[in-house]
Copies of this chain bind each other. A is one copy, B any other.
Amino acid sequence: MIGIKSIASYVPAQGVDNYAQGAKFGKDQEFIFGKIGSTFLPRKAGEQETSDLCVEAVNKLFALYPMLDRASIDALIVVTQNGDAEGLPHTAAIVQHKLGLPTHVAAFDISLGCSGYVYGLYAMKGFMEAAGLKNGLLITADPYSKIVDPEDRNTTMLFGDAATVTWMSEDASWRLGKSSFGTDGSGAEFLKVEDGLFFMNGRQVFNFALLKVPAHLHELLEASRLAADDIDLFCIHQGSAAIVDAVARRFEYDPEKFVKDMLQTGNTVSSSIPLLLEKHVLTSQYKRVALSGFGVGLSWGAAIIERAE
């Protein structure tokens, strides 16, 4: 059974001082720290393409696991809505070539935003099992710096660039448990790109998260016959400090169990959950963790992952 073997990531070292950016828009440090949650927003270099961020993350994985032979990789998914090209070709093909992976790799992109990692885990696991593949790289890389208007106060203080890779295979350290997904295209207008620029209706997205995410997590727990006490940690999409706080409060359980860690990364879209897993879960003693991604679409996905015995 295919599960999560390991995770590596790439977060650009250069970026934006968010206190300074906040000051420009008349926002004080309390707002930036307490509501936005990020004092620094990593930004890719101008010449870096989305595929380059993917390559950086995967090369970190290969450095961590020298025994992982490039020739053994047979599946590659890039979760992105800001790939290298205008529509085609898909970024995963470019990543295959830049990494020097074998041509027997099955590769495609999944178009999803902040819910993308949770969907991607089950799409990769399922695709690999259906096609009989052994070693998959599930990559997230959605550099919003390509589309965010630095003059748009609703978005420019929120997003950071990053990429992650999740190595999925047999003999995994974490197996995937129950999942639950949803889509409401009536809110498609709330997060969109038009004429090359990103637009977000922050109030609508906040309300959506608050109404949907806590209830959806409770439903998933019930379907899994688990109580909140059975979950060691909740890793939800790091949209902003205010969103994470509000979801945790509305969930009505120990808010300390909801990780909040976006201080140096910002909202990294589909990379936010794997960044949390890499830093707070993989090296932990936790046994069972809940994931929840939500955003563009509108789209949401939640899952329980469990440490393999």
Q: What copy number does this chain have within its complex?
A: 2
Segment touching B, from A35-43, A57-65, A83-91, A241-249: A83-91
Q: How far is the CA of A196 from the CA of B112 in the complex (A)?
A: 22
Per the bound structure, the CA–CA distance linking A76 and B112 in Å amounts to 13
Total interface residues on A, CB under 8 Å, equals: 66
A110 and B81 CA atoms in complex are apart in Å by 11
- Residue A103 at the B interface, CB < 8 A? yes
Instruction: Say whether A72 faces chain B, with CB atoms less than 8 Å apart.
Output: no
Query: Could you say which residues of chain B place their CB within 8 Å of the CB of A113?
Result: 88-90
Among the 9-residue stretches A22-30, A177-185, A231-239, the one with 4 or more Cβ atoms under 8 Å from chain B is A177-185
Most buried by B among A126, A179, A180: A126
> A86-B193, A89-B191 are known contacts. Are A96 and B126 too (CB-CB below 8 A)?
no
Minimum distance in angstroms from A42 CB to a CB of chain B: 20
Measured between beta carbons, the chain B residues less than 8 angstroms from A116 are 108
B109 touches A111 (CB 8 A): yes
A296 touching B89, Cβ below 8 Å: yes
Residues of B within 8 A of A147 (CB): 87
* Closest chain B residue, CB of each to CB of A130: B126
Query: How close is A296's CB to chain B, nearest CB, in angstroms?
Result: 5
Q: Chain B interface: which of A11-19, A257-265, A297-305? A: A297-305
Q: Is the beta-carbon distance between B111 and A183 smaller than 8 angstroms?
A: no
Q: Bound complex: CA of A113 vs CA of B85, how far in Å?
A: 13
Chain A residues 246 to 305 lying within 8 A of chain B, measured CB to CB, are: 296-299, 301
* A129 part of interface (Cβ distance < 8 Å): yes
Q: How far is the CA of A271 from the CA of B194 in the complex (A)?
A: 27
Selected contact of A128 from candidates B98, B108, B126, CB within 8 Å: B126
* Cross-chain contact A109 with B110 (CB below 8 angstroms): yes
Contact B96 A183 (CB under 8 A): yes
Measured in the bound complex, the distance between the Cα atoms of B127 and A126 in whole Å is 5
**A123 beta carbon closer than 8 Å to chain B:** yes
Q: List 15 A-B contacts (CB under 8 A).
A: A81-B87, A82-B88, A83-B87, A87-B193, A88-B191, A89-B192, A89-B296, A93-B298, A95-B185, A103-B183, A105-B183, A107-B181, A108-B112, A123-B130, A125-B130
Add 9 more A-B contacts to A82-B87, A83-B111, A94-B188 (CB < 8 A). Answer: A88-B111, A89-B299, A93-B184, A107-B297, A108-B112, A108-B116, A123-B130, A130-B176, A130-B179
